[in-house]
Chain A
Amino acid sequence: MTRTAFWILLTVVSLRISPAQQILINAAGATFPYPIYSKWFDVYHKKFPNIQINYQSIGSGAGIQQITAGTVDFGASDSPMGDEELNQFRQKRGFGVLHFPTVLGANVPAYNLSGVAQQLNFTPEALAGIFLGKITKWNDPELVKANAGVNLPANPIVVVHRSDGSGTTYVWTDYLSKVSKEWESKVGRGKSVNWPVGLGGKGNEAVAGQIKQTPNSLGYIELTYALQNKMSYGTVRNAAGVFTQADLASVRAAAAALKDIPDDFRVSITNPLGKTAYPICTFTWLLIPEKIADPAKKKTVVDFLGWMLAEGQSQVESLSYGRLPQPIVAKEMKGIGKIQ
Chain B
Amino acid sequence: MPAFPRTATSARPSWRAWSFLQGFQSGDEVAHGLSFAAAASVILITAFLALELYRNSVLTREKFGWSFLFTKVWDPVAGQFGALPFIYGTVVSSAVALSIAIPLGVGAAIFLAELAPARLSAVLTFLIELLAAVPSVIFGLLGIFILVPVLRAAEPILRGVLGWTPLFQGPFYGVSLLSGGVVLAIMIVPFIISISREVILTVPGDQREAALALGATRWETTWKVVVPNARKGITGSVFLALARSLGETMAVTMVIGNDPKINASLFAPGYSIAAVIANEFTEATGDLYPSALIELGLVLFGLTIIINGMARLLVESTMSKGSA
Contact = CB atoms under 8 A, between A and B. Distances in A.
A and B touch in the complex (CB under 8 A): yes
B283 interface: yes
B75 A64 contact: no
A38 interface: no
Contact of A88 (B75, B77, B285): B285
Contacts of B282: 28, 58-59, 62, 65-66
A193 B259 CA distance: 12
Main secondary structure of the interface of B (DSSP, over half): loop
Contact of B77 (A58, A63, A193, A202): A193
A219 to B, nearest CB: 12
Contacts of A58: 282-283
Contact of B173 (A64, A191, A199): A199
B173 A214 contact: yes
A174 to B, nearest CB: 14
A88 B76 CA distance: 16
Interface string A177-196: 00000000000001111110
Interface string A62-83: 1111101000000000000000
A61 interface: yes
Nearest to A190: B77
A61 B281 CA distance: 10
A85 interface: yes
A200 B285 contact: no
B259 A200 contact: yes
A193 B80 CA distance: 12
B259 A61 contact: no
Contacts of B75: 194
Q: Which of B75, B174, B258, B286 has the most CB of A within 10 A?
A: B258
A62 B175 CA distance: 24
A154 to B, nearest CB: 13
Main secondary structure of the interface of A (DSSP, over half): mixed
Interface residues of A, number: 33
Contact of B283 (A62, A88, A200, A201): A62
A218 B143 CA distance: 22
A165 B173 contact: no
A64 B76 CA distance: 15
Given A192-B76, A214-B174, A59 B283 contact: yes
Contacts, number: 69
B316 interface: no
A195 B77 CA distance: 12
Contacts of B76: 165, 192
Given A165-B280, A165-B283, A200 B257 contact: yes
B310 interface: no
A232 interface: no
A63 B152 CA distance: 35
A187 to B, nearest CB: 10
A85 B73 CA distance: 23
A160 B134 CA distance: 30
A59 B148 CA distance: 26
25 contacts: A28-B282, A59-B282, A61-B283, A61-B285, A65-B283, A68-B285, A156-B171, A158-B171, A165-B76, A165-B283, A190-B77, A191-B77, A192-B76, A194-B75, A194-B77, A199-B173, A199-B175, A199-B257, A199-B259, A200-B259, A201-B258, A202-B258, A213-B174, A214-B173, A214-B175
Interface of B: 73, 75-77, 144, 148-149, 152, 171, 173-175, 257-259, 269, 271, 279-280, 282-286
Interface of A: 28, 58-59, 61-66, 68, 85, 88, 156, 158, 163-165, 190-195, 198-202, 210, 213-215, 217
